[in-house]
Chain A
Amino acid sequence: MNETKTNSELIEICTFYLRNQIYGVNIQNVREINKNQVYTKTPRAPEFVLGVMNLRGRIVTVIDLAVKLGLSPSRTTSETRILIVDSHNEYVGLLIDRIGDVVSAPGADIDPPPANLDDVAGAMTVGVYKSPGLLINILDIDRVVE
């Protein structure tokens, strides 16, 4: 699912923003983008877990992606979305600040993460897509959700 960098074919990347920085994930991992932000808090859970939500009868854990990437906890706005991703056959919700476009990236334009990327984010980044305008950090869903 995450062989983003080896292929020379086009890879579709779903982009989104966290604190104005653009990130992307392989669209194959994304199940849906949810506007509903009603979730139940889960006290005593790990810090990055916001709570659990009801996705059509399924209990989905909602994770604050910002905290996971070592940023400060997110504040919800009207643009906040929950990205439902599939990791090891489990749906997990990632809270993001704003959703971006879906871009097609040729495998050749994806570079390995730069060495000076900080530890936390570096460990979760599979590559950087050099799009014409800007660089997009592509995250490894399995490692983010881990």
Chain B
Amino acid sequence: MIDKNDENLQIFIDESLEHIADIESELLAIEERGANIDDAIVNKVYRAAHSIKGGAGFLGLINIMAITHEMETILGKFRNREIVPEPATIDPLLMAADMLRNLINNVEAGNSYDISEPMNALLSVKDGPPKDTEPESRDAAVPPDIAEIQFPDGTGGFQLPFEKLRSYRNADKRIYLILFDPADPQITPDELKNAVDSLEQCGYMEASSPDRDRFPLHPDQQTAAEPRITILYATILTPEDLNILLKPTPCKIYEYLEGEGLVPISELFETAPVENPDEDRTVFPKTTAAPEDIPETPAPAETNPQALHDRVPEISAEPSVDSKETVKERKSDSGKSLRVNIGLLDSLMQLAGELVLSRNQLIRAISRSERRLLEVCGQRIDHITSDLQDAVMRTRMQPIWNVFGKFPRVVRDIAQDLNKKIELTIEGKEVELDKSIIENLNDPLTHIIRNAADHGIESPETRRMAGKDPTGRIMLHAYHEAGQVNIEISDNGKGMDGGRIAEIAVQKRLITEEQAQGMSLREKLELIFLPGFSTSRSITELSGRGVGMDVVKTNLERIGGVVDVDSVQGQGTAIRIKLPLTLAIIPSLLVADGDERYAVPQANVMELVRIPYSKIKNKLEYAGGAEVIRLRGRLLPLMRLSHFLGSNDGRKNTPQTPYFGNGENAKDTEAMLPVPIDAAGAKPLNIAVVTTGVFKYGLVVDQLLDTEEIVVKPLGRHLKECKGYTGATILGDGRVALILDISELAGLSGLSSVQDEHLEIEQWKNGVRKAEGAQTWLLFSNGGKEQFAVDLQIVERIQKIHCRDIEYTGGRRCMAFRNTTLILFDIADVADVDAFKEESDALALIFYIAGMDVGILAAPPVDSVETDSRIDSGGFKQPGVAGSIIINGKTVLVVDVFDLAETIHPEWFSEQKAAVGLQKNILLAEDTKLFRNQMKCAMENEGYRVIETGDGAEAWECLTSRHDEIALVVTDLEMPNMDGFELARRIRDDARFGSLPVIAVSSLEGGEDIQRGKECGVTEHQVKLNREKLIQSVRRYMPC
């Protein structure tokens, strides 16, 4: 009986779902107001429920009708102040709304659903104890003025006090006069009874003739003296609604309008829809105008003035335009039609018109072969195309509220179930996203919100004990940023325990113990995205549905999203999702492998690195047989696109032994080398550093080309199963380029986030690194005579700048950079060297000092050199300069950036020093200031607090006076006054420091020193210039 393809049914479904979404949020609003009922909201819900009921009645959906009917009854009682809206009474309504949604989503099976649960709940509310204020009491007052309501033919009439009339009007109600003729053979008594019952449920019978109890509702009463029934009826129903309500029963309906008297309703419809101020500016589809037409169109849903307010006609999306296909397969078959603002359609139409004009112009220009005219046409078409693209895209845009809207309910339900107090704040609900993205955001977001409410927010008692507000807060915030949409879900709950997460991951054999130890807090948190990770002890009815965060991540990736997590134990968790605005058009980086071009979505691209051929030898390293480079001190696993594509098979010769690389390592890895090293041709190594959201890797390509906005097109079925591509696009020259799927690429090449860590540890274990004592220096000048060097490891990045961008504020140099102010120093600000010369271009070497980026001005070019020369801190030492070093036979000044910054801004560092509090500290003993500063900053950047001392004696003094504040000692071995060996021995000999770990650092790796240090009680030995390893080692001993 129910035809799924019926257009009317589809319209009913779309509109009903919209109504339900409204109903839910409005019910919550009603609940919040409690006894202080806002009639406007109640009426709105009432009308929504009624519209659904009307449509369902028309389509024969009995279950939906039954539920909406009971909902109406209860809402009516709210309005009459018979029932107070409170959780106990709102719950069944919400339950009913849920059931409605189910029923509507599965319309075919809807009539066979078991709806007893919500029905019973609704009925129990309806039959509950009525409130004491009875509506009848209001009738008691006798008003002075009385309105005479008479039939147009003068055959009958009622009297209605004006005051009452006014009170109805204030309550948004209308007055109708309804006539039934029981003598009409078309009316069966049953129908009449139904009609009267419906009327009673939907409004108030102000008066009737004959009296209500004397209605001839039974066949045997048909002979009653009264020839007909007249009812004066007050209701919030609109005339259309009323018509539907009484549809099967022939009757006459008049509406009473002040000043005009009775107006027959059918006339009102046809001639004067303007009568209703709500509908003033709405376009009435012609079919809904006459009540007789109702069977053809499910008018009820249309009758809601709210729904019509946006002037939204239906247009169905062309299937090929629907980017659904671009996103792999999707099961949901909802959303086959789309509501589009008429204004937008108009502008589309206009653009199409312009396009036609331009085409004509173009044809003329071609036939006359007029170059100038052609150019003009080209420009014009260019404009129109981009406008058109924009407009078409906007038709697919929907406010994110469509997803967010349900979360107040989700959070409320969880809070009630778990006796928690949770406040949900939603920001940016107007942010718009592509329809297909919106549709696929629902599940991941629900999961995250549930997690936050269920696991994140603690019970009110726990919160109170922790000194927090007993009401937990969840923030849902959407905003635009750099052409993407960010969604942030944060809570102020208990946060996540990185250590515990790592433990579980180890237990589940997702990572090894050693890997866990080397991980930073953030890396540990990101373990929750690993497949198979689900904190088992936290599975509850609510969020433990066997769906882990890995599914959330995969689902988001499928729609081009990137997710990351941040958490502070005890303070809360924040999950950030970055989404593209649309899936149909994405900014992409084009790369080339051989002759073929490929597109990489810009969202995945972090940065581009090019290693000149001459440097490949130094930069490309091998760890456990895998190619890696060091990118700012971190290992970046490399993946060759040509290897993935298999395009270099047979094209390039495979050398028997690696061409370069350090010899001893090569022996181990020879057999496993995945890619032959490109010996032919002096080509640079082009790397696109890409991220999957969880980890980064370097995609090695033949060429890095342009970035371009590409239109995503789906691939045919033969290529659907072929992993590694998300789709294809057509480039400017008409050729097709495949779009690479960065995550799948990593998976197919055996890279994974774990392997990322694995590499690091593997390398650490094998000691693959080059001569440990050697250090890489960045050589630069500031345009003056001197050459400077700075430890490359502490350089965050190098930024090209224009000197004209440099501003002078408060006597200091700075420049605007990515919405922040970058402070710039010249070495001459502190040290006695030549001053920086402002020419057209310059470089800023960016360092991370005291919690911010600071730039040091340099003149290009810069160079990096590896040397094991020692720093001579003799003759050249001065503020900002640690000493000198001989590089390539030249004396170079070694810059101590931390000292430089401290000399100019001592206040940056004093704040940090003052911040010693509850947290345990690291005691650092080191006599060379340059190294001390570097190690200190390295540790502070990781969030540790450091107490610095200049030698062993100072350290010992500090340790004995503040022993309970210190959790770890990091000491140099060679120091004046008291050396590291002695310090370690004293620590071990003192019972107070029995278990205090001591990390010894030295500038050189000497087996002898290590042995001697061990004997003295040193827990671990590290090379001080190797920041990474030092930090890893510190992490092992410091609590997170």
Contact = CB atoms under 8 A, between A and B. Distances in A.
Interface stretch (B51-59, B731-739, B932-940): B731-739
B716 interface: yes
A63 B738 contact: no
Contacts of A54: 730, 734-736
Nearest to B642: A43
Interface in B903-918: none
B738 A40 contact: yes
B372 interface: no
A59 B722 contact: no
Interface string A96-139: 00000000000000000000000000000000000000000000
Contact of B716 (A40, A57, A61): A61
Nearest to A92: B716
A60 B724 contact: no
A52 B734 contact: no
Most chain B CB atoms below 10 A, which of A45, A63, A90: A45
A90 B851 CA distance: 57
A117 B920 CA distance: 83
A43 B734 CA distance: 20
Contacts of B736: 39-40, 51-54, 59
Contacts of B717: 61, 90
Contacts of A49: 718-719
A61 B715 CA distance: 8
Interface string B741-763: 00000000000000000000000
Given A38-B735, A40-B736, A45 B719 contact: yes
B596 interface: yes
A35 interface: no
A61 B722 CA distance: 12
A54 B729 CA distance: 9
A41 interface: yes
A46 B722 contact: yes
B1032 interface: no
A72 interface: no
B718 A45 contact: yes
Interface in A16-55: 38-46, 49, 51-54
A61 B737 contact: no
Contacts of B718: 45-46, 49, 61, 63, 92
Interface in B532-587: none
Contacts of A45: 718-719, 722
Given A40-B735, A44-B724, A52 B716 contact: yes
B734 to A, nearest CB: 5
A59 B738 CA distance: 10
B456 interface: no
Most chain B CB atoms below 10 A, which of A38, A57, A59: A59
B723 A43 contact: no
A59 B645 contact: no
A65 B725 CA distance: 23
Interface string B695-732: 00000000000000000011111110011110110100
A145 to B, nearest CB: 8
B719 A40 contact: no
A58 interface: yes
B646 interface: yes
Contacts of A90: 716-717
B703 to A, nearest CB: 16
A52 B719 contact: yes
B715 A52 contact: yes
A45 B736 CA distance: 15
Contacts of B715: 52, 59, 61
Interface string B196-216: 000000000000000000000
B647 interface: yes
Nearest to A52: B736
A90 B714 CA distance: 11
B645 A43 contact: yes
The interface size bin for chain B is 20 to 34
Nearest to B320: A58
A86 to B, nearest CB: 12
B673 to A, nearest CB: 21
A63 B736 CA distance: 15
A49 B646 CA distance: 15
Contacts of A41: 596
Contacts of B728: 40, 52, 59
A42 B719 CA distance: 8
A107 to B, nearest CB: 31
Interface in B454-513: none
A54 B715 CA distance: 11
A52 B722 contact: no
A77 to B, nearest CB: 21
Contact of A44 (B596, B645, B714, B735): B645
B737 A40 contact: yes
Given A38-B735, A53-B736, A43 B647 contact: yes
Most chain B CB atoms below 10 A, which of A43, A51, A54, A90: A43
A57 B725 CA distance: 18
A113 B264 CA distance: 75
Contacts of A59: 713-716, 727-728, 730, 736
A51 B596 CA distance: 11
Nearest to B736: A40
B599 to A, nearest CB: 11
Nearest to B597: A40
Contacts of A53: 736
Contacts of B722: 42, 44-46
B730 A44 contact: no
Nearest to A60: B716
B920 to A, nearest CB: 53
B716 A44 contact: no
B320 to A, nearest CB: 8
A57 B727 CA distance: 13
B579 to A, nearest CB: 24
A42 B723 CA distance: 11
A90 B715 CA distance: 10
B735 A42 contact: no
A43 B728 CA distance: 13
Contacts of B716: 52, 59-61, 90, 92
A44 B647 contact: no
A92 to B, nearest CB: 7
Interface string B940-979: 0000000000000000000000000000000000000000
Contacts of B725: 42
Interface in B587-646: 596, 644-646
Contacts of B724: 44
Interface string A61-93: 101000000000000000000000000001010
A59 B715 CA distance: 7
A44 B725 CA distance: 10
Contacts of A60: 716
Contacts of A42: 719, 722, 725, 738
Contacts of A43: 644-647
A140 B857 CA distance: 72
A57 B596 CA distance: 19
Nearest to B646: A43
Contact of B596 (A40, A46, A61, A63): A40
A92 B719 CA distance: 12
Contacts of B734: 38, 54
A42 B647 CA distance: 11
A84 B769 CA distance: 57
A140 B737 CA distance: 30
Given A49-B719, A61-B717, 8 more contacts: A38-B734, A40-B737, A42-B722, A43-B644, A44-B723, A44-B724, A57-B730, A59-B736
17 contacts: A38-B734, A40-B735, A42-B719, A42-B725, A43-B645, A43-B646, A44-B644, A44-B646, A45-B718, A45-B719, A46-B718, A51-B736, A53-B736, A54-B735, A59-B714, A61-B716, A92-B718
- Nearest 8 CB-CB pairings of A with B: A61-B716, A43-B645, A40-B736, A59-B713, A59-B728, A45-B722, A52-B736, A54-B730
